[in-house]
Amino acid sequence: MQHGKKISINRINTDTTMALTPELQTLTKAFSGLGVDEKALIAILGKSHPEERQSFRKATTPHFFKEDERSFERWDDHHIKLLKHEFLRFKNAVVLWTMHPWERDARLAKEALKKGPESYGILVEIACTRSSEELLGARKAYHSLFNHSIEEDVAYHIDGPEGKLLVALVSSYRYEGSKVKDDTAKSEAKTLVNAIKDVDKRHPNEDDEVIRILSTRSKPHLKEVSKHYKEISGHDIDEDLDHAVRLKETVRCLCTPEKYFSKVLEDSLRTDVHKHTKKGLTRVIVTRAHSDMMEINEEFENHHGVSLVEKIEETANGNYKDFLLTLLARGG
């Protein structure tokens, strides 16, 4: 499989599906979506005869199987890899859920660094949506698990201004009280406006003051900064950061995490997206079930007109679906 290739199990087109027997329709559905309907597979395949399994292979060609040059139907290699991921989805969700949160975040950070730029947003997510103590715990766990600090690994793997921003974020230990100095918040809002407005001259990722404000200030303070930014510029700050994806993720995670997580869920539930993107569904529900899942669910429903529960019911299968719905019930 090529790096970055989008993969999903293609649903058989309506005309073909309508021609299948009920058993084959059930099997086709069991293989479609997120996760696998294990009960349906056991109930039908476990009792089937060789000729019935051959009928399934022929009926689903070319979606799962293809004709080999030596005249037999064989699995398409692409779908073998995909189904392995789908069978593992439930196991991975359970393993993540049972980990200590510190270890979970440390392992998620390590995986993000291995996967490359498309996964660096996970580092922002961990650094900016956890409490100071939770982030410190993840850093301790990272030390123990990998014999490095997360800061040195981020600095080693990510070059330039983006790396500088991410090192500052994962190193942060923010004040978590409620006190905010309004005049300071207003002054720093002006600093951000100027930095973002002058993007043609200098990318805001390269501005030391931007990094200082976003990596050290408390979340209540940054929400005030965001409010003043809109008053000064007439725009929400994240609207002005489409050219700076990592900064946009940072601002959203710090100021409106429910919007950030709702977008991750939206992307993960789309068809034909990369397998790494699909993992966002497990990651968000497992890591937020004990904290702000209710707010995330409300944001998702307000934005999409359908609840997250309904969307998962429609999209996911089997034990994986049941586990996600159980976690959502805890957080709702």
**pLDDT of the chain, 332 residues: tens digit per residue:** 444 444 344 443 434 444 556 666 666 666 667 887 777 776 766 655 555 555 655 555 446 666 666 766 666 666 677 778 788 899 999 999 999 999 999 999 999 999 999 999 999 999 999 999 999 999 999 999 999 999 999 999 999 999 999 999 999 999 999 999 999 999 999 999 999 987 667 788 889 999 999 999 999 999 999 999 999 999 999 999 988 999 999 999 999 999 999 999 999 999 888 888 999 999 999 999 999 999 999 999 999 999 999 999 999 999 999 999 999 998 65
**3-class secondary-structure state, position 61:** coil
> How many helices (H) and strands (E) would you count in the chain?
19, 2
pLDDT of the residue at 71: 63
Residues 66 and 121 in one domain: no
40 belongs to a structural domain: yes
204 belongs to a structural domain: yes
Residues 105 and 161 in one domain: yes
pLDDT of the residue at 205: 85
pLDDT of the residue at 173: 97
247 belongs to a structural domain: yes
Is 31 assigned a ligand-binding role in the annotation?
Answer: yes
Domain boundary among 138, 173, 208: 173
Is 86 assigned a ligand-binding role in the annotation?
Answer: yes
282 Cβ neighbours under 8 A, 6+ residues apart: 89, 92, 93, 96, 324
The three-point CA angle 89-149-137 to 5° equals 65
Domain boundary among 89, 118, 134: 89
Residues 303 and 327 in one domain: yes
Q: What CATH number should be reported for the domain holding residue 295?
A: 1.10.220.10
Residues 82 and 27 in one domain: yes
309 belongs to a structural domain: yes
Residues 270 and 201 in one domain: no
Q: How far is CA 69 from CA 20, 39, 74, in A?
A: 26, 34, 10
Domain with 194 in it: 176-255
Torsion of CA 136, 142, 148, 152, to 10 degrees: -50
Residues 271 and 235 in one domain: no
**Structural domain count, the chain:** 4
4 belongs to a structural domain: no
**3-class secondary-structure state, position 34:** strand
Is 33 assigned a ligand-binding role in the annotation?
Answer: yes
161 Cβ neighbours under 8 A, 6+ residues apart: 203, 205, 206
Q: What is the pTM of this model?
A: 0.82
Residues 26 and 61 in one domain: yes
57 belongs to a structural domain: yes
141 belongs to a structural domain: yes
94 belongs to a structural domain: no
Domain boundary among 255, 274, 305: 255
Is 64 assigned a ligand-binding role in the annotation?
Answer: no
Residues 231 and 264 in one domain: no
Residues 251 and 203 in one domain: yes
